[in-house]
Amino acid sequence: MKVKVVECVPNFSEGQSKEIIQEIAESICNTDGVDLLDTDCSLSTNRTVFTFVGSPDDVIEGALNAARTAYKHIDMIKHKGEHPRLGALDVCPFIPVQGVEMEECIYCARKFGEKLAAELNVPVFLYGFAAQYEHRKTVSQIRVGEYEGLKEKITKPEWKPDYGPAEFISRWGATICGARKFLIVYNINVLGTKEQAHRIALNIREQGRGADQPGCLRNCHGIGWWLDEASLAQVSLNLTDHDITPIHTVYEEVCKHAQDLRIPVTGSQIVGLVPLRAMLQTAEYYIKKENLFLLEEDQKIHLAVNRLGLNSLGHFNPKEKIIEYRLPDQRVGPLAKKTVQDFIRAVTARTPAPGGGSVAAAVAAMGSALGAMVGQMTYGKRQWEIYDGHMRKLIPVLHNTMKELITLIDADTTAFNDYMAAMKLPTNTPEEIAIRETAMEAGLKKAIEVPMSLARHVNKVWEAAKELASLSNIGTKSDLQVGVKCLETGLLGACWNVTINMEGVKDEIYKQKILEEVEHHRRVAETGCQEVLSILHDRQ
């Protein structure tokens, strides 16, 4: 089971005092169970965004500790800055990252808001998925009038805070906390005036200039401002759903509007952290746009950073700025992370797992990797460049299959362990026996599904492997021969695992269906492997 990870991104109205920023950071770092991942401060906006992660209860405590420190030092009466704000702790969102649903982040927001108001006696408004009123769904709705207008606004019945006093606390203002999807804070540099940057923001942000003049991009909020420390203007944007409006879409749209104004765009900046998926979306856009050929994740990230100009105001380090790279990597399990030697030693140990299923997945993954290698050893070489177009289609098939098969190395062992756990359930009463039998049947079906997945993945590559055998660099002939035999062996191993696990399944309809499918996969693999070997044998 994945560890529960919630992200908290409190925005404080202080970006100039290093001492205060450091003390807030230390209050977060000193909270048990949380990790501070990023601190992003700006002199011009006079604002600092902290990003930290932890379990639901731990991030609540981390946010409270940060707020307690801010309460001692930040005085909103004296605050001036380019960024809109309502209070000392202006916004405090909770975001699901791993192993949690939005409901748990709603719990975090409401519990934090309740505790903050009770302890510091300050007004708190809920927004996003935690909002209790339609007219308070977004930060921009709540922030209308900003800190300066809060004194009058907070006395109105429709703006009674969700927690805390309905009165103006001049030193603090008010706090907006909520639960939301991952928000990307994205600023694009333009060598123009603040007014020109704001014109662009009005053109593209969803709300536009008003109900009768909406902007062109959904889930996009923005303003223009001047950045003193860089002596340039920025179109500052919040992207609330990067699946609907990706980063590259925003960047390209700003470039288009900037060109209309005859002002240059000189790169961009991501404030805080960014999801890996958002960066890969950008990479895939430019790969398609420029007809590029990239396979590896790190190269795709490098391309995205380059095309967006993310190093323009400071070094963009993917290991520090991409949130998944700051968390334990759960994309592959502990077996797949072992060295080859340690994996083999784990197999030889006097334990039933890892066993034949994990080995079959590892062997098949190596077979697919060898096929991808053969394609790579053909692609880009002058002698074989006539086939570059073919290789650009064939290599990804084998490369992506390899990645899928790697995940099955651990999946097989996990499924076996789940079945063994079901076998150990108590059998003292008829009810317990029934529960145990149901759990064992479910465990067997799960253990069968993993090798079935292996077989399905392997049997997607034979057409690509046959074409590769016909066109590839002849010097890699033996590598492809080894590769396809590995694929066939891995698939046969999967078939044998399905067959032996099927002996305990009582669902006869399911059993018949799966056995017929696995026999089909066996025939396809044996035929496919032989056809590849025959093609290679006939080549000189």
CA separation, residue 536 to residues 238, 307, 374, 466, 540 (Å): 55, 41, 13, 9, 8
- Rounded distance between C-alpha atoms, residue 295 and residue 291, angstroms: 13
Q: Which residues fall within 8 angstroms of residue 174, CB to CB, at 6 or more apart?
A: 86, 87, 122, 123, 124, 125, 150, 154, 161
Q: At 319, which amino acid appears? A: K
- Rounded distance between C-alpha atoms, residue 296 and residue 144, angstroms: 45
- Rounded distance between C-alpha atoms, residue 30 and residue 59, angstroms: 12
Instruction: Tell me if residue 86 falls in helix, strand or coil.
Output: coil
For the four alpha carbons of 378, 380, 384 and 385, in that order, the dihedral sign comes to positive
Instruction: Tell me if residue 112 falls in helix, strand or coil.
Output: helix
Which of 58, 79, 83, 162 is catalytic? The answer is 83
The first and second tokens of residue 112, run together, are: 């934090």
Place of tokens 């033996």: 478
Helices (H), 121-246: 139-143, 146-153, 194-204
CA separation, residue 443 to residues 34, 197, 409, 422, 439 (Å): 35, 59, 17, 7, 6
238, containing H or E segment? strand 232-239
Q: Which residues fall within 8 angstroms of residue 194, CB to CB, at 6 or more apart?
A: 224, 225, 226, 233
Q: Which residues fall within 8 angstroms of residue 236, CB to CB, at 6 or more apart?
A: 83, 185, 186, 187, 201, 222, 223, 224, 225
Whether residue 198 contacts residue 191, with contact meaning beta carbons closer than 8 Å, is answered with no
Phi and psi at 68, nearest 5°, equal: -60, -40
Which of 40, 221, 412, 457 is catalytic? The answer is 412
Whether a cis peptide bond, with omega within 30° of 0, leads into 10 is: no
Helices (H), 379-507: 388-423, 430-458, 462-471, 477-502
From first CA to last CA, the distance across the chain in angstroms is 52
CA separation, residue 248 to residues 51, 188, 205, 235 (Å): 23, 11, 15, 14
Helices (H), 121-205: 139-143, 146-153, 194-204
How open is the CA angle 80-81-87, to the nearest 5 degrees?
70
176, containing H or E segment? strand 175-179
75 is an active site residue? no
537 is an active site residue? no
Whether residue 377 contacts residue 475, with contact meaning beta carbons closer than 8 Å, is answered with yes
The residues carrying an active-site annotation are: 83, 412
